[in-house]
């Protein structure tokens, strides 16, 4: 069982006791008393703190971290060792000593003797690298086990890239017995969450945003509510969004809420893949080489959508033909083998949103006159989906050459944005970023161009009701929010990832989650 450990870091005993209560209430499964944070560090204060922490009934680690390995104060080794010896005597479940310091002076002799006399306590021997990965992670693990076969090795390093996390996963996968392997920083985030699936002894999560004790530590609340901590086990199927940036993606909240609603043993992660195609390919190769990680599929976003298409083409199971025409995939499904299939759910999401609002099926779009503003990625998907069913499309774009190129590719018309006041369209679709938060007072279409017999669709989903949609509603037009497209492309992804054995995708929970995330993001 992997424990969710909350570090207690406070300058005084009273404040630390308050944080112990809060950590227990927040669902801590283990407490780490970071005594190095105490301003007046001494054996008496540590004993008091330990007694208080023991009253929670939770297992306790006592740590007095060396400043050289991320500790809060610059204390001599003798004092730090003395604190650990006192903690052992006072019945701490675990004491954490840096492996390097364990080997220094007579620390090893003293700690080994104290633990032999107080068998309740186990030793954690830790190593931290705040600058990069260890030179040889497996050797370090072996060295620690050789120094103390009973100790729990704790190896924490800083990956330069998410691809550096895989050696941590390999170590967790290949070792039996208790071990802690975590990666710090934003590239290491997934290692903190996956510790439970991979059987690590513990992971750390902070009590609140301001009290993390290492880079990249997320809060216990995020771990439990957003990343489904209580439901992760060795069988949990993994999914995630590959992109850069991904920190603000709504997809983890959306899919994890769906898994909760449907009681599905799944977990959806933000997968920050920095760099370009070679980094993306390495990431995918790492995943494919480790079927035991249990990844079932990925959403793919900027800048990797075209890389994903190439990867799916090369890994060759199936690539949706329209995704090939569009030139990007936003969904990869991991099949048996494992082989990879590629899909584009953006065009289907946009088309489904339009059809639902007009109460028609996709063939009902045949011959409809559509004005599409924009010639970027979203416009490509929308135009491809519309032309595919025979709609009459005109592309309007600020950079006319891009509109021309898009229209030549998909056999439709084009015009500059300025020509919008002469447009004669039944359906108007904004695929530019104009009007997106925080520029909520901007609109791509002059209000006087909007007519009551139009259907106006804004793919921008933040805010849910853009100025364009407000003005269209005022003109009496039918309006469609970008949220509809977002939800419908996510529903299509959900079907690819999960299938429909457990029912149709939970649309209501998707909508509710997106609206709640957007209102938090915009401080509404």
**Interacting residues with ligand NAP (CB under 6 A):** 346, 349, 374-379, 397-399, 402, 431-434, 436, 459-461, 482, 485-486, 489
Compute the least distance from the CB of residue 47 to ligand NAP, in Å.
Answer: 57
Rank residues 12 and 376 by Cβ distance to ligand NAP and give the closer one.
376
Name the catalytic one among 128, 196, 304, 333: 128
Compute the least distance from the CB of residue 388 to ligand NAP, in Å.
Answer: 18
How far apart, in whole angstroms, are the C-alpha atoms of residue 296 and residue 334? Answer: 5
Rank residues 167 and 346 by Cβ distance to ligand NAP and give the closer one.
346
Rank residues 142 and 408 by Cβ distance to ligand NAP and give the closer one.
408
Catalytic residue flag (residue 154): yes
The CB-nearest residue to ligand NAP is: 376
In 167-243, beta strands by DSSP E: 180-183, 202-204, 237-243
Compute the least distance from the CB of residue 297 to ligand NAP, in Å.
Answer: 18
Catalytic residue flag (residue 120): no
Compute the least distance from the CB of residue 296 to ligand NAP, in Å.
Answer: 22
Q: By CB neighbour count within 10 A (0-12 exposed, 13-18 middle, 19+ buried), where does 35 fall?
A: buried
Rank residues 134 and 347 by Cβ distance to ligand NAP and give the closer one.
347
Compute the least distance from the CB of residue 306 to ligand NAP, in Å.
Answer: 12
Compute the least distance from the CB of residue 432 to ligand NAP, in Å.
Answer: 3
Half-sphere exposure of 427 (CA within 13 A, CB side): 29
> What's the 3-state SS for 292-337?
HHCEEEEEECCCCHHHHHHHHHHHCCEECHHHHHHCCCCEEEECCC
**CB-CB contact of 36 with 5 (8 Å):** no
How far apart, in whole angstroms, are the C-alpha atoms of residue 187 and residue 189? Answer: 6
Q: In what order do the strands lie in the sheet with 202-204?
A: 180-183, 152-157, 122-129, 94-98, 60-63, 30-34, 3-8, 202-204
Rank residues 220 and 445 by Cβ distance to ligand NAP and give the closer one.
445
Name the catalytic one among 66, 93, 346, 352: 346
Q: Which helix (H) or strand (E) holds 409?
A: helix 400-410
Tell me how many helices (H) and strands (E) the chain has. Answer: 19, 20
DSSP for residue 40: S
Catalytic residue flag (residue 277): no
How far apart, in whole angstroms, are the C-alpha atoms of residue 378 and residue 171? Answer: 41
Name the catalytic one among 154, 197, 307, 333: 154
Catalytic residue flag (residue 305): yes
Rank residues 455 and 459 by Cβ distance to ligand NAP and give the closer one.
459
- Active-site annotation, residues: 128, 154, 305, 346
């Amino acid at each position: 069982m992997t424990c969710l450990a909350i570090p207690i870091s406070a300058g005084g005993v009273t404040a630390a006791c308050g944080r112990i209560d809060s950590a227990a209430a927040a669902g801590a499964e283990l407490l780490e008393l970071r005594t190095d944070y105490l301003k007046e560090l001494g054996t008496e204060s540590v004993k008091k703190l330990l007694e208080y922490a023991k009253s929670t009934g939770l297992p306790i680690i006592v740590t007095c971290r060396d400043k050289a390995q991320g500790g809060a104060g610059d204390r001599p080794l003798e004092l730090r060792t003395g604190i650990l010896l006192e903690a052992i005597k006072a019945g701490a479940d675990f004491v954490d000593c840096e492996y390097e310091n364990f080997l220094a002076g007579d620390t090893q002799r003293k700690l080994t003797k104290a633990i032999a006399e107080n068998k309740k306590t186990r030793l954690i021997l830790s190593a931290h690298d705040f600058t990069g990965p260890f030179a040889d992670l497996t050797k370090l693990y072996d060295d620690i086990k050789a120094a103390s076969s009973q100790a729990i090795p704790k190896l924490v390093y800083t990956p330069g890239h998410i691809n550096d996390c895989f050696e941590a996963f390999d170590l967790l996968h290949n070792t039996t017995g208790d071990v802690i392997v975590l990666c710090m920083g934003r590239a290491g985030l997934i290692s903190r969450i996956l510790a439970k699936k991979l059987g690590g002894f513990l992971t750390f999560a902070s009590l609140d945003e301001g009290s993390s004790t290492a880079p990249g530590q997320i809060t216990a609340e995020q771990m439990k509510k957003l990343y489904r901590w209580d439901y992760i086990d060795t069988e949990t199927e993994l999914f995630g969004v590959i992109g850069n940036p991904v920190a603000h993606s709504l997809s983890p909240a959306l899919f994890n809420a769906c898994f909760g609603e449907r009681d599905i043993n799944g977990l959806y992660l933000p997968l920050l893949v920095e760099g370009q195609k070679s980094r993306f390919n390495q990431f995918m190769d790492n995943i494919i080489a480790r079927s035991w990680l249990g990844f079932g599929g990925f959403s793919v976003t900027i800048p990797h959508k075209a890389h994903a298409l190439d990867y799916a083409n090369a890994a060759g199971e199936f690539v949706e033909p329209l995704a090939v025409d569009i030139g990007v995939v936003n969904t990869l499904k991991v099949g048996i083998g494992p082989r990879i299939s590629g899909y584009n759910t953006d065009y289907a999401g946009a088309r489904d949103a339009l059809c639902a609002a007009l109460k028609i099926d996709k063939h009902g779009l045949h011959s409809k006159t559509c004005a599409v503003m924009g010639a970027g990625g979203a416009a490509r998907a929308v135009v491809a989906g519309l032309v595919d069913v025979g709609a009459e499309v005109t592309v309007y774009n600020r950079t006319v050459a891009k509109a021309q190129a898009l229209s030549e590719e998909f056999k439709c018309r084009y015009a500059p944005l300025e020509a919008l006041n002469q447009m004669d369209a039944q359906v108007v679709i904004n695929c530019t970023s104009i009007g997106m938060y925080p520029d909520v007072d901007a609109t791509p279409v002059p209000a006087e161009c909007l007519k009551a017999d139009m259907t106006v669709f804004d793919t921008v989903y933040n805010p849910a009701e853009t100025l364009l949609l407000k003005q269209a509603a005022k003109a009496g037009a039918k309006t469609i929010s970008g949220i509809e497209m977002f939800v419908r492309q996510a529903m299509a992804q959900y079907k690819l990832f999960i299938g429909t054995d457990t029912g149709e995708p939970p649309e209501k929970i998707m909508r509710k989650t997106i609206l709640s995330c957007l209102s938090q993001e915009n401080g509404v």
